[in-house]
C-alpha cells in the first residue's frame, strides 16, 4: 500500500528511545522528514544518526512553553509540519494521597499543556495546507485506570475528550486527531519492572508484551493520506487488555 507519506514532515516528541523512537523510525522508512525531540542532546544525536532523522530539538516537555518552542523550532528546521506525534516520559507513580499539588502541575504540563502548546503553533499552517495529522501517544490508562498511576489515569482520560472536541472543529480542513493507547510495551521503561513471563501472561490475553513497532505501524498509517477519514478516535494497541467499549 502506498501511504503517500514521501516528503511529508513530522515532529515526534519523546523520540530518542522507546515508542517515540519506533514511530520516528517507521515514518522515516515511509520517506517522512522527521524532527526528533527529547531532553538529552547526546541521545538525540545518537538516535538521529542511527535512524536517519533530519533534525532534532532538545526540550523538556514538563516545563511551561517547551512544547511551543519545540514546535516552532521543528517548523524552522523542516520548513513546515504535516504530522505531530505528542509523546513524553511516563508521569509520576502514586495513589491520590501521594501526589502533591506541584506534581499534578508538572504532569499536567508534561502530558497536557505540551500538547495544547504544540497544536496552537502548528494548526494555522496545517489549516492553510489542508493537511494535518495530530497523533497522541497516551495509554490504556485513558480508558481503564491502572493502579498507582493516578495522574496518568486522570489526565489521559481528559485528553481523549479534548481530541473529540477539537476534531470536529478541524475535520473540514483535512486535519485529524487520534489517540494511540499503548498497553504493556517492551521498552526500557517496562523492562525496568522485570515482569515475569507468568505475570505478563496473566495480564495480557495475547500472552506477550507489545513491541514499540506495533504502535509505530498504526501511527504511521494514521499519519497518512489513507487515514484521512479517521478522526477523534482512541485506539488501543494492547493485545486484548482493554475489554470495554
Ligand atoms: N511502555 C509501556 O508499556 C507504556 C504503556 C502505556 C503508556 N506508555 C506511555 O508511552 C509513553 C512512552 O513510553 P516509553 O515506554 O516509550 O518510554 P521510554 O522508553 O522511557 O521513552 C521516553 C522518551 O521520552 C523522552 N522524554 C522523557 N521525559 C521527557 C520530557 N520531560 N520531555 C521531553 N522528552 C522526554 C525520553 O528521552 P529523555 O529521557 O532523554 O528526555 C525518551 O526518548 C510514556 O508517556 C508512557 O507513559 C508506555
**pLDDT tens-digit readout, 91-111:** 999 999 999 999 999 999 999
**How confident is the model at residue 141, as a pLDDT?**
96
Grid cell listed for 232: 477523534
In a domain, 1, yes or no: no
CATH number at residue 120: 3.40.50.720
CB 173 within 8 Å of CB 228: no
- For ligand 1, atom 46, name the residue with the nearest CA: 90
Residue 59 belongs to some domain of the structure = yes
* Centroid of ligand 1 to alpha carbon of 178 (angstroms): 18
Q: At what angle do helices 101-108 and 150-170 cross, to 10 degrees?
A: 30
pLDDT reported for residue 194: 85
Distance from the alpha carbon of residue 211 to the mean position of ligand 1, in angstroms: 14
Rounded distance between C-alpha atoms, residue 89 and residue 110, angstroms: 8
Give me the residues of the chain with pLDDT under 50, please. none
Tell me, using a 6 A CB cutoff, whether residue 26 lines ligand 1: no
The answer as to whether 27 is a domain residue is yes
pLDDT at 190: 87
Count: domains in the chain? 1
Q: Is 184 in the pocket of ligand 1 (CB under 6 A)?
A: yes
- Positive or negative: CA dihedral 140, 146, 151, 154: positive
pLDDT at 191: 86
Report the separation in Å between the CA atom of 173 and the middle of ligand 1, taken as the mean of its atom positions: 31
Q: Distance from the CA of 228 to the center of ligand 1, in angstroms?
A: 27
Q: Which is the closest atom of ligand 1 to the Cα of 61?
A: 32
Structural domain containing residue 85 = 9-237
Q: Say yes or no: CB of residue 43 within 6 Å of ligand 1.
A: yes
Q: Is residue 2 part of a domain?
A: no
Closest residue (by CA) to atom 14 of ligand 1? Answer: 18
233, 179 Cβ separation under 8 angstroms: yes
Amino acid at each position: 500500500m502506498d501511504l503517500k507519506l514521501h516528503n511529508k514532515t513530522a515532529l515526534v516528541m519523546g523520540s530518542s528511545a522507546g515508542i517515540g523512537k519506533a514511530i520516528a523510525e517507521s515514518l522515516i522508512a515511509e520517506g517522512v522528514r522527521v524532527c526528533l525531540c527529547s531532553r538529552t542532546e547526546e541521545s538525540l544525536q545518537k538516535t538521529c544518526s542511527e535512524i536517519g532523522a533530519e533534525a532534532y530539538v532538545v526540550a523538556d516537555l514538563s516545563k511551561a512553553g517547551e512544547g511551543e518552542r519545540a514546535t516552532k523550532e521543528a517548523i524552522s528546521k523542516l520548513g513546515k509540519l504535516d504530522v505531530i506525534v505528542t509523546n513524553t516520559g511516563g508521569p509520576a507513580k502514586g495513589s491520590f494521597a501521594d501526589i502533591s499539588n506541584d506534581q499534578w502541575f508538572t504532569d499536567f504540563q508534561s502530558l497536557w499543556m505540551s500538547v495544547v502548546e504544540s497544536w496552537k503553533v502548528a494548526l494555522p499552517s496545517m489549516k492553510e495546507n489542508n493537511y494535518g495529522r495530530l497523533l497522541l501517544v497516551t495509554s490504556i490508562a485513558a480508558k481503564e485506570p491502572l493502579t498507582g498511576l493516578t495522574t496518568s489515569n486522570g489526565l489521559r482520560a481528559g485528553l481523549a475528550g479534548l481530541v473529540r472536541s477539537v476534531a470536529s472543529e478541524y475535520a473540514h480542513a483535512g486535519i485529524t486527531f487520534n489517540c494511540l493507547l499503548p498497553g504493556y510495551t517492551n521498552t526500557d521503561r517496562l523492562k525496568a519492572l522485570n515482569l515475569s513471563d507468568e505475570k505478563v501472561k496473566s495480564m495480557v490475553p495475547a500472552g506477550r508484551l507489545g513491541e514499540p513497532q506495533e504502535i509505530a505501524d498504526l501511527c504511521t498509517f494514521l499519519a497518512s493520506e489513507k487515514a484521512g477519514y479517521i478522526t477523534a478516535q482512541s485506539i488501543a494497541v494492547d493485545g486484548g487488555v482493554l475489554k470495554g467499549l
